[in-house]
């Protein structure tokens, strides 16, 4: 990949590398970054490239060094911003619920934000608050404010195979506490506006509309996860079933869902016309509405990636410039890591970017092998939505679907095995049958929210939605019951994952570019000659 074709791709990779470096490297790197920026200023004033041909790569090296220092500084600041908690810490605080409480076996689990606290350093931090089970605690809602007197303690791991404390810390939750019956009460404190609380309330209102429409049990849980990103209704058995057949990525609101919403909004905005000003207005409205949808679904990593990429491409259309998919992908990664460095360790972030990068890299090659034309598929549509482009026939659609599924699965398989210790052997079958059905379920869910109030038509749409969602769950059960549907007990080493990705990149480069085959052949011949000389002149 040429640096000038996708500069943000290289910058985001350098930023991530700086975040992975040890914390004690931060100070030397910061001085190196300052020196690189100071050197970049006089280099940018040199206008004749032939005069300093030997220094032509120096500006690029300065930018990379500054980006490396920025990544190290951002991660160090994120780590130092988290207050240390070595043992129990008694506090009196006012907290706000960020989500509805979740009942557990012996208590009620709440995700809260600390609004005020008698101990410095904990204001505006998030923690897990456990309340006694009962009607009063279970009927709390997102946005309610509580006064609590608790002891903060470090988050404990739930088992040996998963570092739950590190997982919650990277999501911003730094402590946990239990408030007994006399140590918490509703507060009269007026909290300010919160996007998290507003989006959670909107999700709950839409979820109630699904319930009033007649959805329940597994269809309700599936529709809520597909359209709203609400996975609390999915039980562990249903989650495991979807993971075993390889469609867990469909349940996570991602680029596919953003593409569906974008397509529906595009149809609604088509009456604006095709003039220059109308096109700019359409792109601005689409971008604003997609960001509203991203906030509604909880701003997950996959949705943020898709909406950021669409925003870049929409800006390019407004300026009458073409934004390449690789550069838009790098820009999305750079912005997300700069705003929240802990995204680097998020499984959703890694899987989303690995899937899109693999689609952009491998899908045109697979499409060509399947007998299609590479120019007929829009890279932008694949990058943003992980969906096939516009096809002229059903056969072409399913061919694109298979090629996209294979490309995404190859790119995410090592990470999936690393995180979930299993591999779905029938992923190709489940994606072929269930991804189109998921598209239908999503479209019918949107129709239910918009047309469910109409007599007759609304009932018909709800019935179709329930049947499609039920068929999705039955297909998952059928594929899961096939012999050897999933390979379990896979525990690879970290170096093994790196080696797999390295070999995969080498194989793809060699297969797509004949010059690599020629270079490899020359290298093997050179090694053979060295071995011959070593034997004869030893």
Q: Report DSSP letters for 317-381, one per residue.
A: HHTT-PPPHHHHHHHHHHHHHHH-GGGGG-HHHHHHHHHHHHHHHHHHHHHHHTT--GGGS-HHH
Whose CA is closest to 127, among 178, 163, 185? 178
From CA 115, how far away is CA 527, in angstroms rounded?
Answer: 66
From CA 449, how far away is CA 204, in angstroms rounded?
Answer: 13
Structure tokens at 378: 């829009």
Asked if 415 contacts 350 with a C-beta cutoff of 8 angstroms, the reply is yes
Tell me, what's the pLDDT at 384?
Answer: 47
- 215: in domain: yes
Average pLDDT over residues 296-318: 84
Same domain, yes or no: 275 and 153: no
Same domain, yes or no: 235 and 118: no
Structure tokens at 448: 């239910």
From CA 7, how far away is CA 294, in angstroms rounded?
Answer: 26
Banded model confidence at residue 335, pLDDT cuts 50, 70, 90: very high
Residue 213 has pLDDT above 50, yes or no: yes
Asked if 485 contacts 245 with a C-beta cutoff of 8 angstroms, the reply is yes
CATH number of the structural domain spanning residue 114: 2.40.50.320
- 198: in domain: no
Same domain, yes or no: 454 and 520: no
Of the listed ranges 242-246, 393-397, 408-412, the least confidently predicted one is 393-397
Residue 398 has pLDDT above 80, yes or no: no
Most distant CA pair in the chain, distance: 93
Same domain, yes or no: 302 and 382: yes
Same domain, yes or no: 318 and 280: yes
Vertex 282 angle, CA 444 and 273, to 5° = 100
- 473: in domain: yes
Asked if 176 contacts 158 with a C-beta cutoff of 8 angstroms, the reply is no
Range of 69's domain? 7-80
Vertex 356 angle, CA 351 and 360, to 5° = 150
- 270: in domain: yes
Same domain, yes or no: 352 and 484: yes
Task: Report percent pLDDT > 90 for the chain.
Answer: 1
Residue 400 has pLDDT above 80, yes or no: no
Of the listed ranges 218-222, 452-456, 472-476, 490-494, the least confidently predicted one is 452-456
In tens, the pLDDT along 521-533 reads 677 677 767 666 6
- 16: in domain: yes
Residue 56 has pLDDT above 80, yes or no: no
From CA 261, how far away is CA 247, in angstroms rounded?
Answer: 20
Stated as kind and residue range, the H or E segment containing 94 is strand 89-97
* 322: DSSP letter: P
Structure tokens at 12: 């985001």
Residues in the chain: 538
Helix (H, G, I), strand (E, B) or coil at 371: coil
- 2: in domain: no
Banded model confidence at residue 334, pLDDT cuts 50, 70, 90: very high
Average pLDDT, the chain: 78
Q: Please spell the DSSP secondary structure of 502-513, one letter per residue.
A: HHHHHHHHHHH-
Tell me, what's the pLDDT at 28?
Answer: 85
Tell me, what's the pLDDT at 502?
Answer: 84
Same domain, yes or no: 186 and 216: no
Helix (H, G, I), strand (E, B) or coil at 421: coil
Asked if 297 contacts 277 with a C-beta cutoff of 8 angstroms, the reply is no
Residue 509 has pLDDT above 80, yes or no: no
Asked if 360 contacts 383 with a C-beta cutoff of 8 angstroms, the reply is yes
Tell me, what's the pLDDT at 352?
Answer: 85
Q: How many domains does the chain divide into? A: 4
**How many CB atoms sit inside 10 A of residue 47's CB?**
6
Average pLDDT over residues 142-156: 86
Tell me, what's the pLDDT at 514?
Answer: 59
- 157: in domain: yes
Of the listed ranges 42-46, 223-227, 353-357, the least confidently predicted one is 42-46
- 1: in domain: no
Residue 198 has pLDDT above 70, yes or no: yes
Residue 385 has pLDDT above 60, yes or no: no
From CA 357, how far away is CA 407, in angstroms rounded?
Answer: 9
Same domain, yes or no: 302 and 429: yes
């Amino acid at each position: 990949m040429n640096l000038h074709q996708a500069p943000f791709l290289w910058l985001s990779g350098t930023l991530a590398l700086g975040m992975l470096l040890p914390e004690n490297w931060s100070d030397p790197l910061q001085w190196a970054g300052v020196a690189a920026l100071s050197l970049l200023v006089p280099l940018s004033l040199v206008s004749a490239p032939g005069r300093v041909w030997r220094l032509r790569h120096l500006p690029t090296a300065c930018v990379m060094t500054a980006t490396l220092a920025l990544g190290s500084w951002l991660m160090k600041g994120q780590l130092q911003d988290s207050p240390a908690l070595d043992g129990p810490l008694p506090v009196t605080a006012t907290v706000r619920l960020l989500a509805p409480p979740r009942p557990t076996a012996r208590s009620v689990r709440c995700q809260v934000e600390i609004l005020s606290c008698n101990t410095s350093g904990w204001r505006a931090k998030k923690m897990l608050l456990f309340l006694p089970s009962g009607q009063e605690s279970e009927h709390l809602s997102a946005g309610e404010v509580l006064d609590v007197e608790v002891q903060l303690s470090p988050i404990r791991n739930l088992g040996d195979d998963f570092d739950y404390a590190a997982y919650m810390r990277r999501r911003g939750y730094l402590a946990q506490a239990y408030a007994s019956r006399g140590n918490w009460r509703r507060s009269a404190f007026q909290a300010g506006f919160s996007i998290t609380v507003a989006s959670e309330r909107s999700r709950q209102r839409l979820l109630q509309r699904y319930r009033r429409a007649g959805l329940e049990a597994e269809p309700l849980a599936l529709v809520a996860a597909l359209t709203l990103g609400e996975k609390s209704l999915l039980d562990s058995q249903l989650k495991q079933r979807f993971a075993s057949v390889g469609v867990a990525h469909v349940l996570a609101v991602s680029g596919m869902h953003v593409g569906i919403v974008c397509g529906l909004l595009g149809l609604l905005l088509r009456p604006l016309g095709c003039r220059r000003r109308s096109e700019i207005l359409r792109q601005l409205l689409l971008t604003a509405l997609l960001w509203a949808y991203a906030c509604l679904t909880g701003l997950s990593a996959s949705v943020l990636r898709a909406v950021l990429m669409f925003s870049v491409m929409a800006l390019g259309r407004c300026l009458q410039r073409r934004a390449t998919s690789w550069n838009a992908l790098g820009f999305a990664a750079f912005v997300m890591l700069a705003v929240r460095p802990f995204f680097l360790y998020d499984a959703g972030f890694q899987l989303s970017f690995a899937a899109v990068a693999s689609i952009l890299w491998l899908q045109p090659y697979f499409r060509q092998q399947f007998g299609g034309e590479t120019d007929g598929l829009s890279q932008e549509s694949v990058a943003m939505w992980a969906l096939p482009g516009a096809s002229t026939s059903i056969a072409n659609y399913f061919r694109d679907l298979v090629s996209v599924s294979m490309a995404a699965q190859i790119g995410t398989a090592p990470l999936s095995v690393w995180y979930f210790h299993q591999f779905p052997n029938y992923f190709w079958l489940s994606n072929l049958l269930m991804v189109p059905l998921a598209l239908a379920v999503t479209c019918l869910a949107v129709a239910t929210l918009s047309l469910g109030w109409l007599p007759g038509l609304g009932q018909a749409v709800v019935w179709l939605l329930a049947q499609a969602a039920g068929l999705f769950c039955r297909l998952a059960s059928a594929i899961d019951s096939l012999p050897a549907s999933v390979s379990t007990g896979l525990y690879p080493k970290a170096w093994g994952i790196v080696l797999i990705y390295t070999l995969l990149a080498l194989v793809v480069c060699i297969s797509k570019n004949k010059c690599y085959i020629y270079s490899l052949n020359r290298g093997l011949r050179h090694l053979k000659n060295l071995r011959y000389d070593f034997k004869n002149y030893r």
